[in-house]
Structure 1
Amino acid sequence: MSSSATLDIIVVGGGIAGLTTAIGLRRAGHHVRLFERAATATAFGAGVVIGYNASKVLTAWGLDYDSYNINVAETFKMMKGDTFEEMARFEPGLYEELAGGSRQYYAHRIDLQQALLNLATRQDAPGRPIEVCYSADVVSYDPKAGSITLQDGSIHRADLVVAADGVHSLAPHSLLGADYSNYDISHTGTTIIRFMLPSSAILSDPQTAHLISSPGQFTWFVHPDRNRWLLQYPVRDNTEINYGMYSRVTTSEQINEQVSRFKGNRDSLRRELEGFHPDIGQLADKTSEILPVWKLAERPPLPTWYKYRLVVVGDAAHPMLPNQGQGAGMCMEDAGALGVLFSNIPDKSATSITRRLELFFKLRHPRASATQLISHCPYFEDAVGIMWPELVKVMKPKELPRKNDRNHIREWLFAYDVNAEAEAVLKAEQDRTPQEKDAC
């Protein structure tokens, strides 16, 4: 049996992408240091969807959903927001067999982050516990040296650096150089007002109680103008309800604004809810006065995710709108793939590391880029048809979901098993003859 090397790996970013990546690489037997710019473990936002495809990764790692009050998803309904007329429905168990028995979950982002941090640092998990360095703001990357420079001037080196530090990461600049301007982040004109309410506050009001028809239900209320929609789903064992009020705008002020997160108020939510049924409008009276508002950004698919000893994952690689609920899912798929593909690496050489990064990119780029493009459109639109000219640039037409078939998009997303796909890629790599390896 051939021996395998233990790599010294730096992961930048302590969010979902960074923590899952660190866990995957820890489990592959490597020494992982995680650098996070915040002073403590924090999580912005509220609810997060863990799709059937993503939970395959977390379940394989032994994540204890119950201990962190993470909800199992049960049903999905899409309704007209002014009349409550049903537009679509998915019953319990619809995708479970297709997804190999995995489930979909809804989590409060803080709960999920704590669950992942526990998996990353606990002593009794496979591999060496991850070292977490807080107040570590990265100001530059050096792909060839495999190093990061922090704001305090200190330089830290590793065999591999993984940038998982979000949509505003500096790592893509280091990968693309002057070409980065063609792939810069742009604000989409879509905003989201996030808020959470206790389930009891909704159920105790006769005007709003019917909005929660069953536990574990995701409800999508579509405004008559089809430029606004309200998402509703439970977290924390159905004790809280997560809301996202989305709005597509076209004013240049919104698009050019570079602040991605700012504060709104209850009156702004009331204005966004105008035109919905009055029962939905009643929700605004139950919120706090100050509400977080996010302006959502995206970029075209990057032409590469790696260079020398640097690779980008998660939102640093493929930021996407949440219209398919796959932002966190693609982070988890990236992490699962890296964990498998960096198992049993023969040595620490740049050649071996670059080869594994090449395998990672070839496996992940088509699927993540296609998901990124499909996510540009709201769920109720023909996303594949609208984005088809761009989709065929990143994936073969026969491998894409069908046009004008929302359910097939879900099947395409949920049936995928990144662990199995990565294991097949790694086996093919290990089965190559010496002559084949020399030819690369």
Structure 2
Amino acid sequence: MAGTLDSTLRLDVIIIGAGISGLATAIETALSGHNVTVFETAEGLHEIGAGIQITPNSSRILQRWGLSNDLWASAAEPTSLTVRRYSGEVLAVEEDWKEKIRAKYGAPFIEFHRIDFQTALYARAIELGVQFRFGVRINSVNFETGEIASQSGAKIRGDLVVAADGLWSLCRAQFLPKDFEGVPRPTGDLAYRLVLKLDRIQDPELREWVSNPKCNIWMGPKSHVVGYSLRGGTEFNLVLIAPDDLPSGVSRQAGSVEEMKALFRNWDPILNKFLALVSSVKKWKLMHRKEMRRWIHESPNGYFAFVGDSCHPMLPYLGQGANSAIEDGAVLGRLLGHIQSKEQIGKALRMYEQLRKPRGDAIVKETFGQVTIPINPLGTIAPRTIYAPFPIRWCCPQVQPWLYGYDACVEVDKALFTIRGQ
């Protein structure tokens, strides 16, 4: 693999799925000079109307991608991060969060509306010449030939096929031995997700919480809540984690507002004032999967790779699902920019797996560590100064640098330099 991004080689890369991992892979692969076609079952972009937290490990990638000014203008950048006991008392606080994060990592911790974010990624991919085929359901993947078949019977081949089809990945189901794993497994938790608009909030205290972006985390018995601003402080996003009571086989459905309020009625009065404004809510079963043994497949006639939730679905407790998916796309696409022949695709994929799988699997494990926060008999974590190991991993002096300090481009370039030096 040569050390240049201006190779004349143009691969035909097929990506299955137009979610965040698919769009990220499409952008970086197109920037590396290859032809990219994305196949998506839905008739268009299909992100839900909720918030997304972009941490420095991926915001530094987004800055390099040249996304629209409108997207950056829509960001909310929290000025502090506060961890509260469920009843409202402050357990730990990081003031000047915005400035500290930028100073430590050279990139921001920002919050977007998911629809704005996915739309901006899609627009950038279009600018780079990525082709999209919406409303096309892929029924089968031939891992030996690199050929995919749609529900209509059409067959498409690419030099490389990338599975970016999420938690319920068809590609994963066909790739793994039948005795290895079935469907995703429930964690025992569910998430209520909701967004409140500032123009519908009259209470001055609540308006200040929304218009002056901060990140707040409430910890309680068997539950926790994360709240943060969106769209420049004009909307407020809440994610409430509670024990799962959805029926078996149901992954999401409309929730009962009254039931949600009852679950959190003894929590912080501020939180309950927000919940009093809610008119409807959806709840989502939180699911996970076993670790995959391999993220790539090579054969004489076909190459295949997994990215994002298709190979390492992450629970929301660390806010790293989308960020890790962006890392995957950046690493894979950048590696493809260094190959000089189709015979080197396999080498690029092996390097992708070596760079990404250990980190992706480790973050998955760390999310479960965030769930098991020490609880005292009253059902609350005890106040403590922030020092390692701190139970809230977002501000733990050990975990935070490992998560946020990662630079996908640097990791690729270091790996390539090592190979060239051998």
The bucket for the TM-score relative to the shorter chain is 0.7 to 0.9
Q: Please give the alpha-carbon distance, in whole angstroms, between the structure 2 residues aligned to 1:98 and 1:379.
A: 26
Q: Please give the alpha-carbon distance, in whole angstroms, between the structure 1 residues aligned to 2:240 and 2:163.
A: 30
Q: Secondary structure at the match of 2:342?
A: coil
Q: Report 1:263-342 matches (<5 A).
A: 263-288=254-279, 290-308=280-298, 309-342=303-336
Q: Please give the alpha-carbon distance, in whole angstroms, between the structure 2 residues aligned to 1:285 and 1:343.
A: 52
Residues 207 and 54 (structure 1), Cα distance of their counterparts in 2 relative to 1, 3 Å cut: closer
Residues 40 and 315 (structure 1), Cα distance of their counterparts in 2 relative to 1, 3 Å cut: same
Residues 431 and 32 (structure 1), Cα distance of their counterparts in 2 relative to 1, 3 Å cut: farther
Q: Please give the alpha-carbon distance, in whole angstroms, between the structure 2 residues aligned to 1:214 and 1:132.
A: 37
Q: Report 1:168-207 matches (<5 A).
A: 168-181=168-181, 184-202=183-201, 204-205=202-203
Q: Which amino acid aligns with 1:189?
A: G
- 1:52 is the counterpart of 2:46: no
Q: Secondary structure at the match of 2:337?
A: coil
Residues 264 and 272 (structure 1), Cα distance of their counterparts in 2 relative to 1, 3 Å cut: same
Partner in structure 2 of residue 70 of structure 1: 75
- 1:8 is the counterpart of 2:12: yes
Equivalent of residue 373 in structure 2, options 359, 373, 381: 381
User: Offset of 1:404 from its aligned partner?
Assistant: 4.8
Q: Secondary structure at the match of 1:423?
A: helix
Note if contact 2:210-2:236 (Cα within 8 Å) is conserved in structure 1. Answer: no
Q: Please give the alpha-carbon distance, in whole angstroms, between the structure 2 residues aligned to 1:6 and 1:180.
A: 36
RMSD: 2.3
Partner in structure 2 of residue 144 of structure 1: 144
Q: Please give the alpha-carbon distance, in whole angstroms, between the structure 2 residues aligned to 1:28 and 1:152.
A: 31
Equivalent of residue 361 in structure 1, options 332, 353, 374: 353
User: Offset of 1:376 from its aligned partner?
Assistant: 2.0
Q: Please give the alpha-carbon distance, in whole angstroms, between the structure 2 residues aligned to 1:98 and 1:419.
A: 18
User: Offset of 1:303 from its aligned partner?
Assistant: 1.1
Q: Please give the alpha-carbon distance, in whole angstroms, between the structure 2 residues aligned to 1:112 and 1:302.
A: 28
Q: Which runs of 5+ in 2 are unaligned?
A: 375-386
Q: Please give the alpha-carbon distance, in whole angstroms, between the structure 2 residues aligned to 1:21 and 1:233.
A: 28
Q: Please give the alpha-carbon distance, in whole angstroms, between the structure 2 residues aligned to 1:36 and 1:431.
A: 41
Q: Secondary structure at the match of 1:323?
A: helix
Q: Report 1:172-251 matches (<5 A).
A: 172-181=172-181, 184-202=183-201, 204-205=202-203, 208-209=206-207, 212=209, 215-223=212-220, 225=221, 227-249=222-244
User: Offset of 1:241 from its aligned partner?
Assistant: 0.4
Q: Please give the alpha-carbon distance, in whole angstroms, between the structure 1 residues aligned to 2:53 and 2:83.
A: 16
User: Offset of 1:228 from its aligned partner?
Assistant: 1.3
Note if contact 2:211-2:229 (Cα within 8 Å) is conserved in structure 1. Answer: no
Q: How many residues align?
A: 395
Residues 173 and 67 (structure 1), Cα distance of their counterparts in 2 relative to 1, 3 Å cut: closer
Q: Secondary structure at the match of 2:145?
A: coil
Q: Which amino acid aligns with 2:18?
A: G
Partner in structure 2 of residue 61 of structure 1: 65
Residues 159 and 213 (structure 1), Cα distance of their counterparts in 2 relative to 1, 3 Å cut: closer
Residues 179 and 430 (structure 1), Cα distance of their counterparts in 2 relative to 1, 3 Å cut: farther
**Which shifted more, 419-428 or 49-58?**
419-428
Note if contact 2:210-2:234 (Cα within 8 Å) is conserved in structure 1. Answer: no
Q: Which amino acid aligns with 2:60?
A: K
* Cα deviation 1:405-425 (Å, max 9, x = unaligned): 631211211111111001111
Partner in structure 2 of residue 347 of structure 1: 341
User: Offset of 1:209 from its aligned partner?
Assistant: 4.9
Q: Which amino acid aligns with 1:414?
A: Y
Partner in structure 1 of residue 383 of structure 2: none
Note if contact 1:323-1:377 (Cα within 8 Å) is conserved in structure 2. Answer: no
Partner in structure 2 of residue 391 of structure 1: none
Residues 62 and 279 (structure 1), Cα distance of their counterparts in 2 relative to 1, 3 Å cut: same
Partner in structure 1 of residue 111 of structure 2: 106
Q: Secondary structure at the match of 1:262?
A: strand
Note if contact 2:15-2:36 (Cα within 8 Å) is conserved in structure 1. Answer: yes
Equivalent of residue 409 in structure 2, options 387, 398, 419: 419
* Cα deviation 1:238-284 (Å, max 9, x = unaligned): 100011111134xxx64x72222211121122122222134422323
Q: Secondary structure at the match of 1:94?
A: helix
Note if contact 2:24-2:329 (Cα within 8 Å) is conserved in structure 1. Answer: yes
Q: Secondary structure at the match of 2:363?
A: helix
Q: Which runs of 5+ in 1 are unaligned?
A: 383-400, 433-440
Partner in structure 1 of residue 379 of structure 2: none
**Which shifted more, 87-96 or 360-369?**
87-96
